[in-house]
Amino acid sequence: MNNVFALRKYIIAGIFSIACIAFVFRLFYMQVIDDQYKLDASNETFRHITQYPPRGCIKDRNGKLLVTNEAAYDLMVIPNQVKDFDTNSFCSDLGITKADFNNGIRKAVQLNTASHASVFMKEVTPEIYAAFEEKMYKYHGFYSEVRTVRRYPMKIAPHLLGYLGEVSKELCERNPKYREGDYIGMSGIEESYEEALGGKKGVKITVVDAMNREVGDYKNGKYDTLPNPGENLTSTLDATLQAYGEKLMQNKAGSIVAIEPATGEVLALVSSPEYDPNLLVGNIRARNYSSLVLDTLDIPLFNRALMAQYPPGSTFKPIEALIGQQEGVLNEHTVYYCGGSYPGGKPKCDAKHGSLDLEPAIAKSCNTYFSYVFMSIMGNRKYATMDDALTSWRRYVNGFGLGTRLDIDLPSALRGNVPTVEHYDRVFGRSHWRPFTIISLGIGQGELEVTPLQLANEASIIANRGYYFMPHVIKSIGDKNEVQKKYTTRHYAPVDAKYFDIVVQGMSDVVSDGTAAASKIPGVTMCGKTGTAQNPNGRDNSLFIAFAPMDHPKIAVCVVIERGGWGAEWAAPIASLMIEKYLNDTIKRTDIETRILDGNTIHYLEEEKLQPKHYTQHTAHKK
């Protein structure tokens, strides 16, 4: 019939064959030769999920917990999986409004598209979460991720411990270890021990489908890495002492630093005004942080113990006495006459002390006497020029840890200021200044500036009769019971031990019958030195350095009360209470304690700040 065309079956069958063989060739190319698709596939289906390690906890020297972790739950949402459910009950469970809900979803979509997970609500507290979790199955598209937030059971030492914050974009780019949204230590121990506390992140590989739903673990977790929890730290802090110090400092601006002289371990580090560290965790952090930052009157986030720089005033005199002796221009029998001021009327003294030698000069804090000492150091024949004398003096002062940054294991300790020859040349002009021009340095005034930490360290040096261990706040990391090597090396002051005895004796007199006689502790020989330092902004700062007992001292303390007036008024009694608390554990002098607890010096600051124009004029007449 159609035989003419019967041969066409070969052509048709041929076309079928050619097409099918082409498909087979293409398959061979795609599946066997080309590797590109295999690589693509492994990226697409496996999700590498970061496992956050719990951060290390921090304990005090007696094992009391200062910082611990608490579970918080990040509520995650995948918008395109959110199915119809009762949004009213959802919102009331979480304590949010319907507008919050809609906003949250919209933000999530904008941020990460509708098919990817975004944080819907950060760090939901366990209380809210417990109720919410039971109903979670109803809320399609929502799930939770556990993370930990810091908890401070004793609510103390906020400045020392520091707080966490989200890692900056720049750091993320510099260090691949971090990803945006990670939390790292932003201040205090949290910052300086970030490496140890932070631990190591782990990775969990899960199989994910195209809708971003986790389907299961990849190969039953064979390739997962577990997170390494952060190391626990043991602090040198004595939590009881710290808490007591913070209590004493209420309604006062200033700080307390207490150091164990034999080791350099920081026993207490109080900066006031302070804040409850629990305010800066979890989802309340942002709100509280900005209100703390905005409190420019009290500047509660400012760590005064390390960063506030004050003229040391008379607390500098022991150093002056030590330098004089070492330089051979002063000994315990050197006598000067005090007629109420150094000849020429400046600097003034608090009284007419008459003729006196070194020990009573320290006990009575005689400005005239120490002005003579300073002038004799400057006029030392050893030095060809005044420049050399000042430079040498400066080197001595640096040797006591002043004007240099102490290598404490906390960030942002400041170095203070010990003026240089160049500084005075700049201010007065070359050879337009003489020792008398800068005589107030001798009594711890003028351009001299120190931090409370440096003063506490100075007390520690005198307590040790000539050496110190670098102050530090962490005793050990993890289970290893060893301190970093730099904290076990002795640093020697540039003054021989033999010259310390007379200074220590003088400081003991300060407490027994000198300027701080009111702060005596029955049964304890405390050595101390008051300081009443001029404050260019207002009322004098009240300072006190001390250590006790006199022999084999266990604690060295520095107290600074801004605008506290006389050193003996606030700083000395506070320091004595700290020492009594640490050595005796109970306070017998309850009258002094009550006065301090009820006392308020912060109102001086508030008054000044409220009338800023007046105080600058006032200071001109101040002593």
Partner 1 sequence: MNDRRSSIVPYVDWFTIGVYFFLVMVGWFNIYSAVYNPAHPALLDFSQQYGKQFIWLTTAFVMAFLIMLTEASFFSVFAYALYGAVVFSLLAVRFVGKDIAGSHSWFRFGSVGIQPAELGAFAINLGLAKYLSNENIKMSKGTVRLRAIALIVIPILFILLENETGVAITYVSFIFVMYREGLSGNILLVGFLTIVLFILALVGSKLVLSCVLLGIALIAYFLFTRRKRRDLTLVGGALAFGLLIVWGTDFAYKHLEPHQRKRIDVFLGSNVNKNKEGYNLNQAEIAIGSGGAFGKGYLQGTQTKLNYVPAHATDFIFCTLCEEWGFIGAAFIILLYLVLLVRIVFLAERQRSPFSRIYGYGVASIFFIHIAVNVGMTQGLIPVIGIPLPFMSYGGSSLWSFTLLLFIFLRLDANRMQILK
**If binding is defined by CB under 8 A, does position 45 make contact with partner 1?**
yes
CB count within 10 Å of CB 595 equals 12
* Phi, psi values for residue 551, rounded to 5°: -100, 140
Max Cα-Cα span within the chain: 148
CB of 116 to partner 1, least distance (A): 12
4: burial class by Cβ within 10 Å (0-12, 13-18, 19+)?
exposed
Does the bond joining 573 to the residue before it have cis omega, within 30 degrees of 0? no
Contacts (CB under 8 A) with partner 1, residues 279-298: none
Pick 1 or 620: Cβ nearer partner 1: 1
**If binding is defined by CB under 8 A, does position 1 make contact with partner 1?**
yes
Among the residue ranges 209-217, 263-271, 359-367, 590-598, the one whose residues contact partner 1 (CB under 8 A) = 209-217
Q: Which of 86, 180, 209, 501 binds partner 1 (CB under 8 A)?
A: 209
**If binding is defined by CB under 8 A, does position 19 make contact with partner 1?**
yes
**If binding is defined by CB under 8 A, does position 137 make contact with partner 1?**
no
CB of 65 to partner 1, least distance (A): 44
**If binding is defined by CB under 8 A, does position 5 make contact with partner 1?**
yes
Q: Which of 30, 131, 284, 497 binds partner 1 (CB under 8 A)?
A: 30
**If binding is defined by CB under 8 A, does position 223 make contact with partner 1?**
no
Pick 24 or 351: Cβ nearer partner 1: 24
Q: Are strands 58-59 and 233-235 parallel, antiparallel or unpaired?
A: parallel
**If binding is defined by CB under 8 A, does position 220 make contact with partner 1?**
no
Among the residue ranges 25-33, 518-526, 535-543, 547-555, the one whose residues contact partner 1 (CB under 8 A) = 25-33
Distances (CA, A) of 237 to 233, 242, 414, 476, 619: 11, 7, 21, 12, 38
Pick 16 or 337: Cβ nearer partner 1: 16
Pick 99 or 211: Cβ nearer partner 1: 211
CB of 23 to partner 1, least distance (A): 5
**If binding is defined by CB under 8 A, does position 41 make contact with partner 1?**
yes
Residue count at the site for partner 1 (CB under 8 A)? 38
Asked if residues 120 and 100 have their Cβ atoms less than 8 Å apart, the reply is no
Contacts (CB under 8 A) with partner 1, residues 248-267: none
Q: Distance between CA atoms of 275 and 301, rounded to whole angstroms? A: 8
Distant-in-sequence, close-in-space partners of 504: CB < 8 Å, separation ≥ 6: 462, 465, 527, 550
Q: Which of 116, 171, 184, 211 binds partner 1 (CB under 8 A)?
A: 211
Cross-strand bridge partners of residue 535: 538
Among the residue ranges 20-28, 73-81, 264-272, 475-483, the one whose residues contact partner 1 (CB under 8 A) = 20-28
- Position 112: which residue type? N
Closest CA to 186 of 170, 172, 174, 168: 168
Distances (CA, A) of 97 to 7, 102, 260: 79, 9, 54
The tokens of 359 are what?
């020990």
CB of 109 to partner 1, least distance (A): 16
Asked if residues 531 and 313 have their Cβ atoms less than 8 Å apart, the reply is yes
Distant-in-sequence, close-in-space partners of 496: CB < 8 Å, separation ≥ 6: 326, 466
**If binding is defined by CB under 8 A, does position 40 make contact with partner 1?**
yes
Among the residue ranges 203-211, 484-492, 554-562, 584-592, the one whose residues contact partner 1 (CB under 8 A) = 203-211
Binding site for partner 1 (CB under 8 A): 1-2, 4-6, 8-9, 11-13, 15-17, 19-20, 22-24, 26-28, 30-32, 34, 36-38, 40-41, 44-45, 207-211, 215
